[in-house]
Structure 1
């Protein structure tokens, strides 16, 4: 339980365990659904050691942790005494969500729990296809067949897994969902389509269906539901409603077995008679529509999806494409959509490598190394939130590289033949089972190299990490440090970064600042939308939304400036940064411009705290001025 303290702090700052409706995790994030997001201390969490950043998207409050998120998740469950996946859902939180947010929340809730094992089994199947294509095994060998079965098993019986996760998401009994799904993939169903055809429904249309059996005299349209997605999700949705209705009317003494009995008896025939056929046809139409749009121009589709994929990931919108991809694998046998995105991670680490080689900031260089390694295996959140997005231009260059990679895969008609792994493990997924290595496979290799190279070169040349400038800044920093050391300067003046009225931190409505939890200092009610550097030092943090900035002074003091309250919710609107993370800035240099009128119209207070976050190392003496202009003294720091 080495993450116990971190888990305790996270729970405390999301409003306590009583504010948690549910919590799950993905590859790098804790995904909370909170009853009241206003109770969460977002800025405290963002500045917490062990937390990369915080995102609000798709109705979820996402705390980005990094590669060790499973351990932190386990600690959160333990510390908060929460059950697995903590499904203590509260309908009031759902009511506050938009339709789009509800859809993303639904999709992530249904598919996220199985994505890890789905990717793992896809990797097994992909490697089986790879060793067959390379001629290392024969298609009739036991080695190949067992590997293929191990990889194909989950996908074949996917409805059973989705029956569990979907039923749980809808608030029903998961094992009832599994029982309904098991009926849909029962082996005996294959024998029911070999008998005599009694009639043909919808003859002469695309929905033409031969009828082999009836249920209570009603024709049953037999279809294969192996690997299907939409039928079981719709079926469990209806089943959850049926189950809840039955629980209200059936006595408690027999509820344990009578409720499942009637739910299954009702839902299995209903699914075979109506829900299954209708949803299967809908899935086929969705797959055909997706393919039609894609084939209008695979190049354009690849450029757009590949270029915007990282933006989708940041806002959680990528979940909308996951069921489409899985449905395409079911109905078409392959998916061309996600195929255009799988090389984006290499464009991201191309930009990270350029930053790593160019920057003189030791912390940024160290972070770039770990982010690069994670990105090789497809985990790009540390790279996005820790390196490229704060620097802005490298993120843009990585998106351009992703567009180039996606466009090449589109031109090469690249397809994913299975739901494979991420990063370097995705390549076998481009091999059609039973076929050799074709142009689509080689196209994925070319896309990797091209996307990586484009992002690297553009970032190296135009990513705001100019080598000569970095050297000069480093020299300035070194000279300043030497000057401080030589003269033994013990006091450092922090001047006002804004024009306005000085206020005590205790007057701020935000408890994280008013309590001093984030540090000591003052607040300013600004009268002009320009923030200047209050000290000379290195920009140690520049938040992606440009509403907050951290500066480490030459004497080692960490200054945090937060423009306004709850302005992170504006998602960067009305803020323009004139510096980058890692840059050395001089006292009085313009850092950020912000539109005061628009921020006020959005209902956000403009009160701006300026605090020292490592005050244990310093003494702080406040100025007594109440009205200040930029450059006026705010407080003085002295080394303890």
Structure 2
């Protein structure tokens, strides 16, 4: 299923665009805040191909996608206005959070603020860890300009973390992003930080100011931006329309910067340090027991979404102390579930489960555990318990060994360098711990066993009640209908007949690999070609029906009468033009004839706005065919034959004989 088609089904499954207050994503999940969760169809979403599972936790409706969540997130932005920051619902997001109760509201706020930063935070953490290793082994000393430049690239995120958190917090609470960034920037301004330790103390109109360092801090800027967002709403209501655009930011800055330095800053720093000290005290009392508890329970916290409550503590410890001794034990839990999935792969005789557990093991090794947990170990129960046991053992070893984290990043193979500090102290315990977690969990998952989805019969035929669990050729999930022993093999479903699509534009044919957009260039949305247009007209590639007519008018999709789905996406990132320079002549559901005018666009105006006009023409249901072949190179005119779909030929047994038939 293409990302755009999956995006449309997700939007429909969560109750439609109007039911969405906000959407963020982390490494594997789409995290929706909904107006009414009763309108969401959780059961339908869980049956949709491309979705691992659906969870409701921490006040969020979480759709677990896996590794391709950024592409699906972007596709949701293409097919809807959910990601449009001017969307009415976005500004009411703080009200939604406020309406939630207790711990759920806190988790919702924390996850929404930190989730968008996890990818770049992990990347910066890995780079920082590798530089620490290079310095410890004498490969690249800290005084070398190369080290200084690379360390600056890695450390800038953490130093300027308040500014990044100002952005995500303002988005969460509907505040002005640029005002929030300015407040954060004031905390880091050299002339302000120079007041720290000033002789005779610091005061603001006679009010004492407790100065401290705010680089890499978390809580102060979050508190400041939450209050700032509410003040802005008040000022915007009472200040006249003609002057509020500059008076509201001016008053917000004049109030919030001093208020943050006087109250929120010291309070936030003291609270963060207090929580960190309490957890560190637990590890100091018995690092073995504390490590075992965190190693066993981390994945349970992840399942319920409450692990976000510890994320600010990890970051705060690294900011204040330069290291964190709590997070390393969580690595044991990650590698434990990885080992459990590996044990399932070795044990199962079900080919589909073997393939799933193998891919889940691979992704979990790099810190993405959702496919392993939700797709393999948790449904099978005993392997998940094996992972908890393995995680407890590994966490105890890591805790007792005094392992520290020196940068942020999700535990995985690539992020192991973030646990390597001066002299490598504690790092051997980490390696022993994660190896023990993986090995013990894999062995226990294999020995304890599980109910294999496929029960083997006499070796020649499946048992009488074997259920069909594989997906058909269209990508839809099977119903699991029992098939009696000796029954004929299921016929393979073919998505559509061979067909020729005409060029919807005039211009020059360009390979998809040359399109400056990763989703198109990697053929993630399907095979096809791109056209650099010479004329701003899009015509129908065949007789068919318009299935998608984007609100921003920059793209459309047409399905032929025999089932081929063609997407025409005019330009790259042109969704940001919000419909400017486009004129649509169709709406969804319209019947069209080959060559009929569908869309007009102003090439020069789009280019002048800074957007490429190269236009992908994609067969979005590529997987329904044996192949998709381009028929043109160089110059092409609208109406010329452009693409040919090659149908799958069936055999009597429902398989394919590998031959092709074309139109």
TM-score, normalized by length of structure 1?
0.71
Write out aligned runs for 1:177-196 (5 A): 177-193=180-196, 195-196=198-199
Match of 2:447 in 1: 461
Change (3 A) 1:215 1:394: same
The question of whether the paired residues in 2 share the 8 Å contact of 1:540 and 1:552 is answered with no
Write out aligned runs for 1:320-335 (5 A): 320-335=309-324
**Residue correspondences, number:** 480
Match of 1:140 in 2: 143
The question of whether the paired residues in 2 share the 8 Å contact of 1:359 and 1:365 is answered with yes
1: distance between equivalents of 2:100 and 2:459? 48
2: distance between equivalents of 1:278 and 1:384? 38
Match of 1:536 in 2: 465
TM superposition shift of 1:196:
2.5
Write out aligned runs for 1:211-610 (5 A): 211=201, 213-432=202-421, 435-438=422-425, 440-464=426-450, 473-476=455-458, 478-480=460-462, 536-538=465-467, 540=469, 550=480, 552-554=482-484, 555=487
CA-atom RMSD in angstroms: 2.5
TM superposition shift of 1:193:
3.6
Match of 2:6 in 1: 6
The question of whether the paired residues in 1 share the 8 Å contact of 2:165 and 2:221 is answered with yes
The question of whether the paired residues in 2 share the 8 Å contact of 1:345 and 1:380 is answered with yes
Change (3 A) 1:29 1:478: farther
Match of 2:515 in 1: none
Change (3 A) 1:99 1:285: same
Match of 1:602 in 2: none
Per the alignment, in what secondary structure is the counterpart of residue 358 of structure 2?
A: helix
2: distance between equivalents of 1:156 and 1:26? 22
Per the alignment, in what secondary structure is the counterpart of residue 111 of structure 2?
A: helix
> What 5-or-longer segments of structure 2 have no aligned partner?
471-478, 492-652, 655-663
**For structure 1, which segment, 256-265 or 185-194, has the greater mean C-alpha deviation from structure 2 after superposition?**
185-194
TM superposition shift of 1:90:
5.2
TM superposition shift of 1:11:
1.3
Change (3 A) 1:95 1:258: closer
TM superposition shift of 1:279:
2.1
1: distance between equivalents of 2:490 and 2:41? 23
TM superposition shift of 1:13:
1.6
> What 5-or-longer segments of structure 1 have no aligned partner?
198-210, 482-534, 542-548, 559-638
Per the alignment, in what secondary structure is the counterpart of residue 56 of structure 1?
A: strand
1:176 aligns with 2:105: no
Match of 2:115 in 1: 112
Per the alignment, in what secondary structure is the counterpart of residue 479 of structure 1?
A: coil
1: distance between equivalents of 2:208 and 2:128? 38
2: distance between equivalents of 1:92 and 1:136? 53
1: distance between equivalents of 2:459 and 2:175? 61
TM-score, normalized by length of structure 2?
0.69
Match of 1:583 in 2: none
2: distance between equivalents of 1:402 and 1:373? 18
After superposition, the C-alpha distances for 1:103-150 in whole angstroms (9 at most, x for unaligned) are 100001111111211111111111100111122112211122112111
The question of whether the paired residues in 2 share the 8 Å contact of 1:342 and 1:426 is answered with no
After superposition, the C-alpha distances for 1:154-203 in whole angstroms (9 at most, x for unaligned) are 10111111111112212211111111110101112343245422xxxxxx
Choose between structure 1 and 2: higher helix proportion: 1
Match of 1:629 in 2: none
Per the alignment, in what secondary structure is the counterpart of residue 238 of structure 1?
A: helix
Runs of 4+ deviating beyond 6 Å:
none
TM superposition shift of 1:413:
0.7
Per the alignment, in what secondary structure is the counterpart of residue 33 of structure 2?
A: strand
The question of whether the paired residues in 1 share the 8 Å contact of 2:338 and 2:438 is answered with yes
Per the alignment, in what secondary structure is the counterpart of residue 474 of structure 1?
A: coil
Write out aligned runs for 1:3-42 (5 A): 3-42=3-42
